[in-house]
Structure 1
Amino acid sequence: MLIQSILSMSLPRTADVIQPGSEFMFPFVGIALACLAIGFYYSNRRTQWLQHSAVADGVVVDVFKKYNRDDKMGNYPLHFPRVQFSVGNHHFEAQGEAAVDAPVQIGEHMKVRYNVENPEEATLGVNKIPGTNPKVFFILGAVFTVVGVLFAL
Structure 2
Amino acid sequence: MYGIDVITLVSYDQVQHTDEGMLSLSYWTIVGAYTVRGEKNDTGTMVDAVLYDIPSRKMLFRAPGTSRIKGSSTLVNLSEQLRTDSLNGFHLAADNLVTNLQLELDRFRKKVKAMPESYAIEHQPGYTGGGSLEARYALTLLVIGGFALWSSRRKEGFRDKF
Give the structure with the larger helix fraction.
2
TM-score by structure 2 length?
0.23
Superposition TM-score, scaled by structure 1 size: 0.24
Higher relative contact order (CA 8 A, sep 6+): 1
